[in-house]
Structure 1
């Protein structure tokens, strides 16, 4: 979800497509962010907190699952649109 929003924001701000973003220093940022968020998501697990005990209102495990799926689809759609256009979305 963070990757999709970041890619779209950089593209709108600078006009770089996904490939340019990855090749111009974006890959280390992606790897670092993915590692940090992966480790951070394990902390509640080690503390014994379950997803069901923290879910309530809009922030449920199901909602988070669907948000992640839509973000993945959005990133693929962004890349495919750039491929068809031959350049950035904007």
Structure 2
């Protein structure tokens, strides 16, 4: 189910992409500015002393692993975690 060719990765990534799209549209409507992806803004240019680009990458990786662990635990348990 969670294999590379399984249905879960595509569904999870699709849902995250849908959420990202809606949030981007809402941000544009609220601020009147476009998404700054093509203006030279990258992870390295948005770092401060505590959240470096390397820390952000590791936080994202741990979040992805946590999501997979939660899905696997609920699959094995046949129900919600809590």
TM-score bin, normalised by smaller chain: 0.5 to 0.7
Aligned residues: 63
- Alignment-derived partner of residue 18 in structure 2: 32
TM-score, normalised to structure 1, is: 0.52
SS for the counterpart of 2:19 is helix
Instruction: Quote how far apart the aligned CAs of 1:60 are.
Output: 1.6
Counterpart CA distance in 1 for 2:54 and 2:77 is 34
Q: Which has the higher helix share?
A: 1
| Larger of the two Rg values belongs to structure | 2
TM-score, normalised to structure 2, is: 0.56
Q: Please list every run of 5 or more consecutive structure 2 residues that lacks an aligned counterpart in the other structure.
A: 1-10, 28-33
The runs of 4+ residues in structure 1 deviating greater than 4 Å are: 28-31, 37-40
- Alignment-derived partner of residue 69 in structure 2: 77
Counterpart CA distance in 2 for 1:45 and 1:31 is 15
